[in-house]
């Protein structure tokens, strides 16, 4: 099976971390290069941007298309795609959160995930999946606590790791995921439920972040 991959170097390394060496994956620097491999069985865009030009280009591919789209649903991108949680740090595990709209895409997608030694956890096509939503809320609460000067970033991270056995504290997660990714998801979720509204300090730091 030939799989064509586009994304950051970190995302690429995480996705292929557990893949067997026989997997035929070609990395391309731009989605424009997808067309250089017309016979590929699948195309994965880990740096997906939800804009008209990107979607038009991906729809022209005559194979399965998998996009990293945590905040935007397939109803807002294209129902002919498979959507995954490809946030930094989440591709390291064996299980990958994913969703589909067209039932005929499920089996081909599972074949691709198997090739990458991944197990899909099929979830409804909703913003945030499950894990990003939970982690984003934890990060948001940590920023509210920081605003109230309850503790420092370092102390909150340490307490979270010791108390929950999480691999990262909320601020470590935030740095790894990217503040703008978190704020975007929280803003999206807050349109339905105000409890997801991002902390002012989180928004402020995101504005100056380089992610």
Q: Which of 85, 74, 88, 166 is nearest to 118 (CA)?
A: 85
Burial of 37 (0-12, 13-18, 19+ CB in 10 A): middle
pLDDT score at 166: 82
Q: H helices then E strands: how many in the chain? A: 8, 7
* Mean pLDDT, residues 108-113 taken together: 96
pLDDT score at 17: 83
| Same-domain status, 97 and 156 | no
Question: Is 211 a residue whose pLDDT tops 80?
Answer: no
pLDDT score at 156: 92
Domain that holds residue 19: 2-122
pLDDT in tens, 153-193: 999 999 988 888 888 899 999 999 999 999 999 999 999 89
pLDDT in tens, 21-70: 766 899 999 999 999 999 999 999 999 999 999 999 999 998 999 999 99
What CATH code is carried by the domain that includes residue 160?
1.10.1040.50
Write the DSSP assignment of 136-190 as a string of letters.
HHHHHHHHHHHHTTSS-HHHHHHHHHHHH--SS-HHHHHHHH-HHHHHHHHHHHH
Q: Which residue has the tokens 């067309």?
A: 35
Give SS3 for 104. helix
| Same-domain status, 71 and 172 | no
Give SS3 for 51. coil
- Domain boundary residue among 59, 92, 122? 122
Question: Is 4 a residue whose pLDDT tops 70?
Answer: yes
pLDDT score at 22: 64
The answer to whether the Cα torsion of 150, 156, 158, 162 is positive or negative is positive
pLDDT in tens, 116-154: 999 999 999 999 999 999 999 999 999 999 998 898 999
pLDDT in tens, 191-201: 989 999 999 99
Element at 109 (helix H, strand E): helix 106-115
What CATH code is carried by the domain that includes residue 13?
3.40.50.720
């Amino acid at each position: 099976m030939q799989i064509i991959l586009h994304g950051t170097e970190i995302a690429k390394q995480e996705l292929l971390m557990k893949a067997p060496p026989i997997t035929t994956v070609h990395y391309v620097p731009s989605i424009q290069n997808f067309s250089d491999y017309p016979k590929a069985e699948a195309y994965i865009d880990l740096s997906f941007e939800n804009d008209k030009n990107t979607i038009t280009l991906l729809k022209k591919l005559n194979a399965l298309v998998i996009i990293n789209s945590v905040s935007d649903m397939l109803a807002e991108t294209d129902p002919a795609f498979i959507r995954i949680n490809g946030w930094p740090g989440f591709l390291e595990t064996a299980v990958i959160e994913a969703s589909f709209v067209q039932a005929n895409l499920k089996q081909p997608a599972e074949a691709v995930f198997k090739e990458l030694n991944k197990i899909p956890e099929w979830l409804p096509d909703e913003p945030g999946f499950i894990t990003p939503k939970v982690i984003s809320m934890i990060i948001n609460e940590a920023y509210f606590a920081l605003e109230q000067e309850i503790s420092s970033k370092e102390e909150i991270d340490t307490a979270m790791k010791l108390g929950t056995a999480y691999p990262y504290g909320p601020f470590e997660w935030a740095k790894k995921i990217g503040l703008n990714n978190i704020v975007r998801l929280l803003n999206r979720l807050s349109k339905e439920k105000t409890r997801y509204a991002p902390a002012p300090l989180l928004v402020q730091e995101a504005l100056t972040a380089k992610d």
